[in-house]
Amino acid sequence: MRRLVLAAALALPAPALAQEDPHAGHHGHEAAAEAPPDPHAGHNAAPTPADAHAGHVMAAPPAAPPPVPTDHAADTVFPPQRMAAARAQLAREHGDHPWGKAMLETAEVRPAKGADGYAWEARASYGGDIHRLELRSEGEGGRDLHRAEVQALYSRAVSPYFNLQAGVRQDFEPRPRRTYAVLGIDGVAPYWFELGGSVFLSDKGEASARLEAAYDLRLTQRLILEPRAELNASAQDVRELGLGSGLTTGEIGLRLRYAIRPEFAPYVGVHHERRFGRTARLARVAGEDARETTLVVGLRAWF
Amino acid sequence: MQQGGIASPSADPSRAARAGEVRHVRRGVEIGRRGVLRGVAALALSGSASLLPAWARSGTPGLAAGALSGERIQLSIGHAAIDVDGRKGHGIAINGTIPGPLIRLKEGQTARIAVTNRLDEDTSIHWHGLIVPFQMDGVPGLSFPGIRPGETFVYEFPVRHAGTFWYHSHSGLQELLGHYAPIVLDPAGAEPAPYDREHVIVLSDYSFMHPHKLMLRLKQQPGYFNRRKQTVAGLLAGEDQPLAERTAWAKMRMDPTDILDVTGSTYSYLVNGHGPQANWTGLFAPGERVRLRIVNAAAMTIFNVRIPGLPMQVVQADGCDVRPVETDELQIANAETYDVIVRPTADQAYTLVAEAADRSGLARATLAPRLGMSAPVPPLRRRPLLTMKDMGMDHSAHGGGAMDHGAMAMSGDGAPQVMRGPGVQMISAMPADRTGDRGTGLEDVGHRVLVYTDLVALAPNPDGRPPSRELEIHLTGNMERFMWAFDGETFSEVTKPIPFRRDERVRVTLVNDTMMNHPIHLHGHFVELVNGHAGRHPRKHTVNVMPGGKLAFDLTADAPGDWAFHCHMLLHMHAGMFKVVAVRPLDGPAA
């Protein structure tokens, strides 16, 4: 059917263009777009206004679009230098606005016997729609700081929903401190799952990876239940960091937040983390628990 | 009038003006900082929007007096306070008021309007919908350099037609702060839709949040202002979509409640600068034919306008006369105007309701025989939901469901000119001509609703030639990133213009590949909306392309110059949904 319409549009362009059916002309346009630009085409195709029968006669094939002019009309009236500056601003004001966002995804206290624990996950980014600089930090502690890292990444939007990242990660705890190269991806998967994945290569040559997922279940306009999960894996044993090869640690949490404003939402929840396999055995040898479940009270905020 | 230190325009003005207008059109004259007129300075310092122009005050008898008219008009742009139902905010005002003064001119006269900038940033005025020479069109960086702080720019143009229009800033986001006002152009001949009394109804939206912050929030979290998403509580209460449908939409990462980007959660909706509590009231005497000149000067709001108990006879759209058509409700997209005639016969008050299309708030006014009367304000109706049709997937035209759509949208071979990337969430798989559809949310209301196919130009279209070529332009976006563009590329990325031969006739089809409405405005021309009334297509300056739909217009490119072409959702425009249309040659005989 479409082929037929196309053939008709090519053979009898003027009637096809003139009729009311807005579907009719599409193919004619495509054909026109493929034709070489002929600056004189318009003379043949467009009947003069004086021709009273213009609507009835069979006109020439669809005209090609004219060449794209490179001059600026207002330069003929106003000082070209001033126009050039205004033109640059016009372009900036229509699509080029760097913007920033800083977000505490979690910032929480984990009450415990002895010293309460605390933990955070934060990220901040700045840039345009496609190219952004992103800083991330996460960590946790109790009486002491157990784990703290900062990542500095270049993030590039590569599809409507996903971004790729490349950069560095610096760990401050645990010690000995490591520096890593990072490759990552994050974005929104079907069903609105927020996903993130990173692979890390340390300055000692160790490879590891992390997967994260979160989901906002909107109970009411302000009350949101958020499951979050994280999995870490290591390609090799890193004894000095207490890591065994394979899956190392996992976290899963359920947080119920109340959005006083979208950007300010205190929450309560539960958080469970565990170590797996050789990493768990290493922890037990060191006298630590391989699993831990805590209540959490915290704040999710951004600006 | 003195000419100051600013470099004067260089070229022969006749180069830029059309033959026949040369005698009337002179170039803009800029006045240096020291050359500011005293009279203008006095006007500029009124400082507060509290004393509105006569037509905009509550209790006004109408437009009988108080307009700026004549051969010389002076305007001054400055900061002012705006009062929204008792709360004071910052605004940018024309001659100290929001909205600014009504300009009333007569077809055939020449307008000379001196605009002085009292801000500390550049400003401009665009005469929305008026056919003026390109250098008088008021888009900084395109038609002219803009008006610097302290400068005065004199706009000068012949008034070539009649109708209801408006004017506003085209600099940054000044329009969002109040830089807008109405224009009435009286016909040289007889008025085709006579009336006993007339009122201007300028609808607008105002947020106490600064426009830059509105934009920032939308970039940071595009659903930020939508406080009426679907919830589990709603599901349990049997509201909104059933679970299977929610799951299908979630799979596609589409939100059916995303109707307007900025909502009543931050916006107050105004009539002639008045909030709903202030209840702007326009007077009438029972039995009169009252013409309401409705202008949507809102930045991000499409309104549904009705006057319970009073049918409206639409006589003009976008300043162009149409065959009178009676309706009970009309949807007015950003920057459109509709003139309607109402005929209240009873000695009673009527409420004019302008609901935001997402039903998150309303603007309200009263028409009454005497000030102080009021009529009930109907409560906001249920928040609408988008459908598959809004996703460019017309159920009636195709049996497939959501899943099919996903696959087709990904294939996207129907739009080779669209630059695919992060800014293009989807390509409408089967975009339907929606000119016969009721506007978003009005599908099921139980009374008459104006649709585009109801509009028939009163006079035959001036150019009977068939189009010599076609052009398809896609309106693209990504609601998850608040990215908006034509054909997938923002203006900042591609400043290259869309070329037209002078006087050529082109059919332009706009395909909406997004789930938002996009009111698209072409400067410098009236386009003929292709709606089934060949030869009498309604002529418009702004056409709203419904979500997932398409719309065609015929254009006679009879205005040489560079013209802005953009979405009048101003934050979509700001995000990049803007292009330049270049009509060449600038001089000499038509191509």
Residue-wise pLDDT for B141-169, tens only, equals 999 999 999 999 999 999 999 999 999 99
Q: Which two tokens stand for residue B156?
A: 């000068």
Distances (CA, A) of B42 to B36, B49, B54, B75: 11, 15, 19, 11
User: Residue B56 pLDDT > 80, yes or no?
Assistant: yes
Residues of B in contact with A25 (CB under 8 A): 467, 470, 507, 509, 552
Q: How many Cβ contacts (< 8 angstroms) between chains A and B?
A: 245
Which has the minimum average pLDDT: A248-257, B384-393, B531-540? Answer: B384-393
Site from B25, B216, B254, B470 to mutate, A interface, most A CB atoms within 10 angstroms: B470
Q: Which of A73, A94, A217 sits opposite B491 (nearest CB)?
A: A94
Residues of A in contact with B252 (CB under 8 A): 190
| Polymer length in residues for chain A | 303
Amino acid at B338: Y
pLDDT value at position A114? Answer: 84
CA-CA distance, B405 to A206, in Å (whole number)?
Answer: 44
Confidence (pTM): 0.88
Q: Which DSSP category does B274 fall into? A: B
Which residues 284-303 in chain B show a CB within 8 A of chain A? Answer: none
CB distance B486 to B469 below 8 Å: no
Q: Which of B228, B253, B492 sits opposite A96 (nearest CB)?
A: B492
User: Residue A165 pLDDT > 90, yes or no?
Assistant: yes
Backbone angles phi, psi at A62, to 5 degrees: -50, 140
User: Residue B3 pLDDT > 80, yes or no?
Assistant: no
Q: Does B121 contact chain A (CB < 8 Å)?
A: no
Amino acid at A301: A
Q: Does A242 contact chain B (CB < 8 Å)?
A: no
Q: Does B590 contact chain A (CB < 8 Å)?
A: no
Residue range B212-245, pLDDT digits in tens: 999 999 999 999 999 999 999 999 999 999 999 9
Q: Does B495 contact chain A (CB < 8 Å)?
A: yes
Pairing of strands B549-556, B432-433: parallel
pLDDT value at position A60? Answer: 62
User: Residue A18 pLDDT > 50, yes or no?
Assistant: no
Contacts 24+ apart (CB under 8 A), A198-204: A198/A165, A200/A169, A202/A178, A203/A178, A203/A179, A204/A178, A204/A238
Q: Does A79 contact chain B (CB < 8 Å)?
A: yes
Alpha carbon B169 to its chain centroid, in Å, reads 12
Which has the minimum average pLDDT: A174-183, A195-204, B30-39, B84-93? Answer: B30-39
CA-CA distance, A90 to A82, in Å (whole number)?
Answer: 12
pLDDT value at position B43? Answer: 39
Amino acid at A176: P
Backbone angles phi, psi at B84, to 5 degrees: -115, 105
pLDDT value at position B434? Answer: 96
CA-CA distance, B166 to B334, in Å (whole number)?
Answer: 12
pLDDT value at position B406? Answer: 41
pLDDT value at position B395? Answer: 55
Q: Which two tokens stand for residue B106?
A: 């007569």
Q: What residue of A is the nearest CA neighbor of B416?
A: A30
pLDDT value at position B394? Answer: 67
Residues of A in contact with B219 (CB under 8 A): 97, 99, 101, 129
Q: What is the mean pLDDT of residues B429-449?
A: 95
| Bridge partner list, A202 | A180
For residue B440, give every residue at least 6 positions away whose Cβ sits within 8 Å of its Cβ, in sequence order, or none: B259, B302, B331, B357, B384, B386, B390, B517, B546, B547
CA-CA distance, A207 to A199, in Å (whole number)?
Answer: 7
CB distance B475 to B512 below 8 Å: yes
pLDDT band at B66 (very low <50, low <70, confident <90, very high): confident
pLDDT value at position B392? Answer: 84
ipTM topping 0.90: no
Q: Does A35 contact chain B (CB < 8 Å)?
A: no
CA-CA distance, B526 to B534, in Å (whole number)?
Answer: 16
Q: Which of A25, A54, A83 sits opposite B465 (nearest CB)?
A: A54
Q: Closest Cα of chain A to B495: distance in Å?
A: 7
A26: left (phi over 0), alpha (psi -120 to 50) or beta: alpha
Q: Closest Cα of chain B to A255: distance in Å?
A: 16
Residues of B in contact with A99 (CB under 8 A): 215-216, 219-220
Please, what is the average pLDDT of chain B? Answer: 89
pLDDT value at position B263? Answer: 98
Between B42 and A235, where is the model more confident? A235
Tell me the three-class secondary structure of B512-577, residue by residue: ECCCCCEEEEECCCCEEECCCCCCCCCEECEEEECCCEEEEEEEECCCCEEEEEEECCHHHHHHCC
Q: What percent of chain B has pLDDT over 70?
A: 87
Q: Which DSSP category does B273 fall into? A: T
Q: What percent of chain B has pLDDT over 90?
A: 84
Smallest CA-to-CA distance from B167 within B178, B156, B151, B153 is with: B178
- Adjacency order of strands within the sheet including B152-158: B29-31, B152-158, B110-117, B72-84, B87-94
Site from A1, A92, A94 to mutate, B interface, most B CB atoms within 10 angstroms: A94
Which residues 402-461 in chain B show a CB within 8 A of chain A? Answer: 416-417, 421-425, 433
Alpha carbon B68 to its chain centroid, in Å, reads 22
Q: Which two tokens stand for residue B527?
A: 């386009």
| Bridge partner list, A201 | A181, A207
pLDDT value at position B50? Answer: 55
pLDDT band at A52 (very low <50, low <70, confident <90, very high): very low
Q: Which of B16, B425, B500 sits opposite A77 (nearest CB)?
A: B16
Q: Which two tokens stand for residue A85?
A: 């500056």
Q: Which two tokens stand for residue B386?
A: 């988008």
pLDDT value at position A194? Answer: 98
Residue range B543-570, pLDDT digits in tens: 999 999 999 999 999 999 999 999 999 9
Q: What residue of B is the nearest CA neighbor of A18?
A: B466
Q: Closest Cα of chain B to A228: distance in Å?
A: 18
Radius of gyration of chain B (CA): 23
Q: What residue of B is the nearest CA neighbor of A194?
A: B253
pLDDT value at position B25? Answer: 32
Q: Which two tokens stand for residue B1?
A: 């009038």
Query: DSSP of A99-135, one letter per residue?
Result: EEEEEEEEEEEE--SSSPEEEEEEEEEEE-SSEEEEE
Backbone angles phi, psi at A121, to 5 degrees: -140, 125
Q: Does B16 contact chain A (CB < 8 Å)?
A: yes
CA-CA distance, B484 to B495, in Å (whole number)?
Answer: 15
For residue B170, give every residue at least 6 positions away whose Cβ sits within 8 Å of its Cβ, in sequence order, or none: B124, B125, B126, B138, B139, B140, B564
pLDDT value at position B393? Answer: 79
For residue A119, give every residue at least 6 positions away whose Cβ sits within 8 Å of its Cβ, in sequence order, or none: A106, A107, A108, A110, A138, A139, A140, A141, A271, A296
Distances (CA, A) of B58 to A282, B145, B179, B279: 79, 38, 20, 7
pLDDT value at position B495? Answer: 87
Q: Which DSSP category does A289 fall into? A: -
pLDDT value at position B45? Answer: 39
pLDDT value at position A28? Answer: 37
Residues of B in contact with A96 (CB under 8 A): 490, 492, 576
Residue range A99-117, pLDDT digits in tens: 999 999 999 999 988 889 9
User: Residue B41 pLDDT > 50, yes or no?
Assistant: no
Residue where the block lists tokens 């307007």: B260
Alpha carbon A230 to its chain centroid, in Å, reads 19
Q: Does B475 contact chain A (CB < 8 Å)?
A: no
DSSP H or E stretch at residue A89: helix A80-93
Which residues 373-392 in chain B show a CB within 8 A of chain A? Answer: none
User: Residue B115 pLDDT > 90, yes or no?
Assistant: yes
pLDDT value at position B39? Answer: 36
pLDDT band at B589 (very low <50, low <70, confident <90, very high): low
pLDDT band at B411 (very low <50, low <70, confident <90, very high): very low
Pairing of strands B498-501, B578-584: parallel
CA-CA distance, B370 to B45, in Å (whole number)?
Answer: 33
